[in-house]
Amino acid sequence: MVDADTIRGDAITAILNELVQSKTLVRIKMIGKDYEQLTLIHAIRSRKGERYFLIEHPIELQDVLTDYSGLPFQFEFTNAHGIPYTFTTLGDWMEDEEIWLRFPETIERRQQRKNFRIEVPPNTILYFSHQNQKYTLSVVNLSLGGSLGAFMRKGEGATPMEVSVGDIIEQLKLVFRNGPLTRQLSILKAKVVRTEQKSTSEDMFLACEFLQMDKENERKLTEIIFELQRQILRKRIRGI
């Protein structure tokens, strides 16, 4: 059962201001349409007695939608403590390539939701060493807070994965190969939060929480997640 709290009044202003200051990624969904996007809340404004928050006009919609008046949206995000929030609101208008959206009446804080994850290209690899063993994981999905990967065995008799829940792993390397483009980033420290053996294969699935990254690699990871989201949207946009 979902444990939810309803937030109202000045607390909504505080939360939205924090999203602006921290540049927290939020997921926006267009209610009733097969459309969702990761974005940032850029600013908070007041006009004619109404309060608004502003987001960038998604490039994928610039040739599809120009009138946002009364259009319903849902927003989801996770705060710095891993607690997820959600709210719905209405669009009002677009100005200077930004969408003005009305302040929500309430925000729901939900305790059971996990970090938003996105599927990655099949040739996304996570490399690390642990207890004098080198490991290679084929990454299945990814969020700003961690990844889920399958241990890639190199044939019969390969050394089993000696990794347990709670183990701390340092100096990981995450490599993305998306078509001709290869990019890599470094994770200074991660924690194993789950291991799983699939009954249909010998692969061991390993979920990691990223505990420490420098600012440059955080920026790279954010850009990569944005790009993957755009690729998914390009495939869906014709259905809107």
pLDDT tens-digit profile of 89-132?
988 877 777 889 999 999 988 754 345 678 888 889 999 999 88
| Spatial separation of the C-alpha atoms in residues 133 and 154, rounded to whole Å | 14
Statement to judge: residues 226 and 166 lie in one domain:
yes
Statement to judge: residues 165 and 199 lie in one domain:
yes
Within-domain flag for 199: yes
CA angle 150, 221, 84 (to 5 degrees): 85
Asked if 186 and 210 count as a contact pair (C-beta separation under 8 A), the reply is no
| Spatial separation of the C-alpha atoms in residues 208 and 215, rounded to whole Å | 19
pTM assigned to the model: 0.53
Domain boundaries, position 191 = 118-231
| Spatial separation of the C-alpha atoms in residues 28 and 101, rounded to whole Å | 12
Within-domain flag for 239: no
Read off the CATH number of the domain in which 145 is found. Answer: 2.40.10.220
Statement to judge: residues 84 and 132 lie in one domain:
no
pLDDT tens-digit profile of 196-229?
776 556 677 888 889 999 989 988 888 888 777 7
Within-domain flag for 238: no
Within-domain flag for 237: no
Read off the CATH number of the domain in which 78 is found. Answer: 2.30.110.10
Statement to judge: residues 8 and 109 lie in one domain:
yes
